[in-house]
Chain A
Amino acid sequence: MENMANKVARIPNLVDWSTGEVRLMSAKCGSCNTYFFPKEHYQHRPGCSREGVENVLLPNKGKLASYTVQYYPCPAPFKTDNKITPYGIALVEFEKEKIQVTGIITDTDLKSLKIGMEMETTILEMFTNEEKQQVVTWAFRAVK
Chain B
Amino acid sequence: MRDVYIIGTGIHPWMGFSEKVFADFAAVAVDGALKDANVEWKRIQAIMAGIFIYGGNAGHLSGQYLESIFGETGIPVVNVYNACATGSASLRMAYNSVAAGETDTALAFGADVSPKGFLTAKSDNAVQDRDVIRWKMGGLPNPIYWALECRKRMEKYDTTEEDLALVKVLMSEYGAKNPLARFKKTYTLEEVLKSAYVCDPLRLYEICPVSTGAAAVIVTADKELISKADKPVKINATTMGSAIYGDPTIRISALSCPSVPEAPMLSESYSASRQAYEKSGIGPEDIDVLELPDNSSWHYLVYLETCGFCKEGEADKMLRDGETKIGGKLPVNPSGGFSSHGEALSAQALWQVIECANQLRGRCGERQVANPKIAMAQTYGLMGNSGTTIMSL
Contact = CB atoms under 8 A, between A and B. Distances in A.
Interface of A: 9-11, 14, 34, 36-38, 40-41, 43-46, 65-72, 74-79, 84, 87, 89, 91, 93-95, 98-104, 115, 126, 137-138
A43 B245 contact: yes
B200 A102 contact: no
Interface in B230-270: 245-246, 250, 254-260
B370 interface: no
B137 A71 contact: no
A56 to B, nearest CB: 13
B256 A37 contact: yes
B256 A75 contact: no
B256 A11 contact: no
A95 B259 CA distance: 7
A46 B245 contact: yes
Given A38-B133, A102-B148, A71 B259 contact: no
Contact of A75 (B118, B144, B196): B118
The 3 closest A-B pairs by CB, nearest first: A68-B147, A137-B137, A37-B256
Interface string B316-351: 000000000000000000000000000000000000
B136 A10 contact: yes
A101 B197 contact: no
Interface stretch (B40-48, B149-157, B160-168): B149-157
B133 A14 contact: yes
B133 A89 contact: no
Nearest to A9: B137
B281 interface: no
Given A44-B245, A95-B259, 20 more contacts: A10-B136, A11-B133, A37-B256, A43-B245, A46-B245, A67-B148, A68-B144, A75-B117, A75-B118, A75-B135, A76-B135, A77-B121, A77-B135, A91-B250, A98-B258, A99-B258, A102-B138, A102-B144, A102-B256, A126-B137
A83 B335 CA distance: 40
Given A38-B133, A102-B255, A137-B137, A89 B117 contact: no
B121 A38 contact: no
Interface of B: 117-118, 120-121, 126-128, 130, 132-141, 144, 147-149, 151-152, 155, 196-202, 245-246, 250, 254-260
A71 B136 contact: no
A46 B138 CA distance: 28
Contact of B255 (A38, A94, A95): A38
Given A66-B151, A137-B137, A76 B120 contact: yes
A51 to B, nearest CB: 17
Contacts of B120: 75-77
A62 B47 CA distance: 51
Contacts of B196: 71
A36 B127 CA distance: 13
Most chain B CB neighbours (cut-off 10 Å) among A9, A11, A89, A103: A89
A98 B259 contact: yes
Contacts of B255: 37-38, 41, 101-102
A79 B135 CA distance: 9
A94 B258 CA distance: 10
Nearest to B138: A102
Given A43-B245, A68-B148, A70-B141, A11 B257 contact: no
Contact of A68 (B132, B200, B256): B200
7 contacts: A41-B256, A66-B155, A68-B151, A74-B139, A75-B117, A137-B136, A137-B139
